[in-house]
Amino acid sequence: MAGLVIVSHSHRLAEGVVELVPQVAGPTVPVAAAGGLDAEQIGTSPERILEAMRQVGEGDVLVLMDLGSALLSAEMALEFLAPEERQRIRLVAAPLVEGAVAAAAVLAAGGDVEGAVREAREALRPKLDHLGEAPAGATTVEPGGAEVVRVEVVLPNPAGLHARPAGQLVREAARFDARIWARNKRQPQRRASLASLNELALLDARQHDTLILEASGPQGREALEALAALVRAGFGEIDPPASPTPGGDQEAGLGPGGAAVAGAGPAPAEAPAPPAPGTVLEGVAVTPGVAWGRTVQRRRAQAWTPQGPDRPPEEEWARLEAALHQVAAELAALQAGADAAEAAAIFEAQALFLQDPMLLEPARRAVEAGQPAAVAWLEACRATAAAYRELANPLLRQRAADVEDVGQRVFRRLTGQAADPAGERLEPGTILVVDELWPSDVAWLRDQPVAAVCAAQGDRTSHAAILARSLAVPVIVGLGAAILQLPEGTPGAVDGLRGRFYVAPYDGTLQALAQRAAHWQALERRARNEAGQPAALRGGRRVVVAANVGTPEEAREAARLGAEGVGLFRTEVLFVGRPQLPDTAAQEALYRQVAQAVAPHPVVLRTLDVGGDKPLPQLAPAQEANPFLGVRGLRLTLQAPHVLEGQVRAALRVAADHPLRLLLPMVSTLDELLTVRRLVEGWREELQAEGVAVPPVALGIMVEVPSAALVAERLAPHADFFSLGTNDLTQYTLAADRGNPGVRHLADGLHPAVLRLIGQVVEAARVHRRPVAVCGELASDPEAIPILVGLGVDELSMVPQAIPTAKALIRQLEEAATRDLAREALALATAAEVRALARQFLDGLATKDGEGPGRPPGGD
Ligand code: PEP
Ligand code: MG
């Protein structure tokens, strides 16, 4: 049998390895130590090595060595041997301890010398994999001898590797003749096949996680190149679903009074008692509108008893395969009929579950063990859904609903139920109640005469919620488990503007709700008719209402809806999702289009604001543990001044012909502002010298970091204007991540702490006669508008669709009343108290004018 020689500079180390090897590989493999110059002195000796070679016998000898000169000594020892003896000695470049153990294990199991050498060389592999430390682009060898290529790539998507990008990876991987899998460097021991959407999603890869992609097979390299490019490009997700879009409430169709209601946490584990008549349940508004009717609860299949005699496993498996085909066709039809690309992508991603080994393999094992296919499949889906629910990433947790949805579709087929619950017809006026809303529910609901839909669980980021936005009835999710306790047929009213469900409402509540719906519609109509008029308070003070835009199309839409300029031009839209940064000429052309769209009104152009929730792979800072507290916004562009220069030069050229102001994001110190001021002035002078007549351009700062708000009086002499980024200011003031639904109830910009900061900025600006705008989501929130105006804000900038109603609301306000309102709000302790105060104020307006937003009495 072949033997091993352990060469080490240390006598004791070599002896230690010799002691260890039989413990792991058994006593059959001869192993000899050649350590130290002698038993005491560090070094290696050809004589001792030679002696050890002879000790292990007449067969082949593998020599494993530790540091540099050990190799020289071993080579010298070979020179003392006759040529035919040398043939049986192999010097092996392998880690000493792991290599010796791995080689001995192969030899002890009857493997040949080649196999032992290969294993010894690969012996670090499990450790590297476990720690996720194999070098990028490295090539290794699988136990079977196949070459494995590997690449590491950082995931830029704010929402992480959620279902749609994971689906893209699975589809892209399927184009290649290769076995491909991925790991998340944070937990490298978990390996996901790129044939399995679920395995991939369960890697729980978040933004900035490093994905390790590995492939073997004829097209392994090409596959990795294509896949890595896909990841680097962020899967083309310019507007990823997890990042809260500014004015997202408006996109969801909320009208006045429709701000997201705080306090809708996850459904409690224990079923609570049925809520009493008159109770108001609060959830998350998905689609607006007001409706009433009687509840009907839809329960999912929980258990199923097979009918008739057992079928053989092959027959059960064939039935499952047939059901999977049928459901694939159903999902393809839904995808083809979807009214938006986003909706189509949801069904496309669901279809991938039908081929997913993570569902099919356990189902197959269970069927082979004698289980009916329906039970085996449903169990596999439940286990996978449960794994999703365990994940930390709230967006990925929502994917549990997709797995269960597809699971249920296949289950229905297998158990002989209608393909879709289309056969079930709801009565007109039904309020459908579900535990969790699934995408197929929404597809089915399109043709049902329901009055409204309420779900106990769920969030605005769930696929079903995204699809539900196109339903014409109010939809609320996240109402909590209490709604499931309602007896069937309970009368209820649904306020999709505020995300509220009224249990058995009193007549007065119903009347108020009806009135409110009518008021809202009337206000909407009138607001649209008068959108082109300026907005002034009753006392005469003008409030500028401008638009937040990212593209020329949005700017044109904003102009149509009455925007008095662009208050926030998010220029990052031009940068994100492109392989290269745009050049100055391309930027100038785009900036000019935006300026022309709203001319003669001004454009406030914000310099690149990437990092945090808006990553830009080409400019990505080093991986950061807390990207929101890291190199983002102005901090990032100051580290890449060429980017800032290209952008400012392009903007200055446009400023030669249009009213344009520059706005700096994420300013937290005076130094940052002064540095940029110097740079901008230098570039302007250079342009003047080149013959471009650029007037001095106003330079303002976003106040979105509490430090900037707190020293606003010191910044004011150096900033030409302020724009309050309340989305970030809220997250930083309240320590509540703006993209995390788990802390959504905390991240309310109407918290008095945020309002006090806004008040301070307005005061500081007034002393230096600087205008103050608000450009975060708060600016379009009807409950916030009177308070912001009362605090003395000069401009509100918002999503274009919100402009008409915001203007209409401002026209109803009186200067003194808003000032009193703001003063009262500042003295309160919580956001909920401020919102209650604001609603009372809005009710007062409604009563006075007969057309304000209105509000149902009771329950508040
Ligand atoms: C804000 O933070 O309020 C803001 C307007 O900037 P963004 O949402 O683009 O970060
Ligand atoms: Mg911001």
Mind listing the pLDDT tens digit for each residue in 356-414?
999 999 999 999 999 899 989 999 999 999 888 887 666 677 788 899 999 999 998 88
The C-alpha atoms of residue 709 and residue 169 are separated, in whole angstroms, by: 44
Going by the DSSP 8-state scheme, the letter that residue 177 receives in this structure is S
* 463 flagged as catalytic: yes
Which residue out of 162, 463, 519, 601 is catalytically annotated? 463
The C-alpha atoms of residue 291 and residue 450 are separated, in whole angstroms, by: 10
User: Hey, whose CA ends up nearest to atom 1 of ligand 1?
Assistant: 725
Mind listing the pLDDT tens digit for each residue in 458-470?
877 677 887 887 7
- Residue 711 Cα to ligand 2 middle (Å): 18
Q: Is the predicted pLDDT of residue 704 greater than 80, yes or no?
A: yes
Please tell me if the CB atom of residue 246 comes closer than 6 angstroms to any atom of ligand 1: yes
pLDDT range class, residue 492, cuts 50, 70, 90: very high
Return the best residue to mutate from 572, 606, 702, 737 for the ligand 1 pocket (most ligand atoms within 8 A of CB): 702
- Residue 171 Cα to ligand 1 middle (Å): 34
Atom of ligand 1 nearest to the CA of 665: 6
pLDDT range class, residue 239, cuts 50, 70, 90: very low
Specify the pLDDT at position 398.
77
Please tell me if the CB atom of residue 633 comes closer than 6 angstroms to any atom of ligand 1: no
The C-alpha torsion from 699 through 703 and 707 to 709, rounded to 10°, is 100
Specify the pLDDT at position 858.
34
Cβ pair 378, 365 in contact under 8 A:
no
Mean pLDDT of the chain: 84
| Angle of the 220-232 helix axis to the 163-173 helix axis, nearest 10 | 160
User: Hey, whose CA ends up nearest to atom 3 of ligand 1?
Assistant: 725
- Residue 544 Cα to ligand 1 middle (Å): 19
CA-based torsion, 827, 855, 727, 608: positive or negative: negative
- DSSP secondary structure letters along 427-446: PTTEEEEESS--HHHHHHHT
Specify the pLDDT at position 301.
61
- Residue 186 Cα to ligand 1 middle (Å): 30
Helix, strand, coil shares of the chain, percent, nearest 5, are 45, 15, 40
Please tell me if the CB atom of residue 45 comes closer than 6 angstroms to any atom of ligand 1: no
Q: Is the predicted pLDDT of residue 443 greater than 60, yes or no?
A: yes
The C-alpha atoms of residue 200 and residue 356 are separated, in whole angstroms, by: 10
Please tell me if the CB atom of residue 609 comes closer than 6 angstroms to any atom of ligand 1: yes
Average pLDDT over residues 587-591: 95
The C-alpha atoms of residue 679 and residue 698 are separated, in whole angstroms, by: 14
> Out of 265-279, 443-457, 766-780, 801-815, which region has the weakest mean confidence (pLDDT)?
265-279
Per the structure block, which two tokens stand in for 589?
Answer: 């052309």
pLDDT range class, residue 740, cuts 50, 70, 90: low
Q: Which residues of 796-813 are buried (b: 16+ CB within 10 A; e: fewer)?
A: bbbbbbbbbbbbbbbbbb
Return the best residue to mutate from 727, 754, 799 for the ligand 1 pocket (most ligand atoms within 8 A of CB): 727
Strands 772-774 and 31-35: unpaired
From 475, 482, 421, select the one nearest 453 (Cα to Cα): 475
Mind listing the pLDDT tens digit for each residue in 154-172?
887 777 787 778 878 888 8
CA atoms in the 13 A half-sphere facing the CB of 130: 5
Within 10 Å of residue 339's Cβ, how many Cβ atoms?
10
The C-alpha atoms of residue 681 and residue 702 are separated, in whole angstroms, by: 19
Specify the pLDDT at position 96.
94
Q: Is the predicted pLDDT of residue 250 greater than 50, yes or no?
A: no
Atom of ligand 1 nearest to the CA of 612: 10
Coil vs helix vs strand at 345 = helix
Q: Partners of 105 in the beta sheet?
A: none
Q: Measure CA 534 to chain center.
A: 38
pLDDT range class, residue 243, cuts 50, 70, 90: very low
pLDDT range class, residue 613, cuts 50, 70, 90: low
- Residue 501 Cα to ligand 1 middle (Å): 31
Per the structure block, which two tokens stand in for 526?
Answer: 């009138």
Strands 89-92 and 61-65: parallel
Please tell me if the CB atom of residue 570 comes closer than 6 angstroms to any atom of ligand 1: yes
Return the best residue to mutate from 775, 788, 796, 799 for the ligand 1 pocket (most ligand atoms within 8 A of CB): 775
Per the structure block, which two tokens stand in for 556?
Answer: 């044109």
pLDDT range class, residue 576, cuts 50, 70, 90: low
Mind listing the pLDDT tens digit for each residue in 93-133?
899 999 999 899 888 888 888 888 888 888 887 777 666 56
pLDDT range class, residue 339, cuts 50, 70, 90: low
- Residue 629 Cα to ligand 2 middle (Å): 12
pLDDT greater at residue 731 or residue 188:
731
Length of the chain: 860
Mind listing the pLDDT tens digit for each residue in 518-546?
777 777 788 889 999 999 999 889 999 99
Please tell me if the CB atom of residue 649 comes closer than 6 angstroms to any atom of ligand 1: no
Q: Is the predicted pLDDT of residue 288 greater than 50, yes or no?
A: yes
Specify the pLDDT at position 136.
45
- Residue 392 Cα to ligand 2 middle (Å): 24
Please tell me if the CB atom of residue 610 comes closer than 6 angstroms to any atom of ligand 1: no
Mind listing the pLDDT tens digit for each residue in 821-842?
999 999 999 999 999 999 899 8
Ligand having the closest approach to the CA of 667:
2
Please tell me if the CB atom of residue 572 comes closer than 6 angstroms to any atom of ligand 1: no
Question: What does the H/E/C string look like for 352-388?
Answer: HHCCCHHHHHHHHHHHHCCCCHHHHHHHHHHHHHHHH
User: Hey, whose CA ends up nearest to atom 10 of ligand 1?
Assistant: 728
Atom of ligand 1 nearest to the CA of 775: 5
Q: Which amino acid is at 503?
A: V
Cβ pair 270, 752 in contact under 8 A:
no
Q: Is the predicted pLDDT of residue 241 greater than 50, yes or no?
A: no
The C-alpha atoms of residue 840 and residue 837 are separated, in whole angstroms, by: 5
Specify the pLDDT at position 719.
98
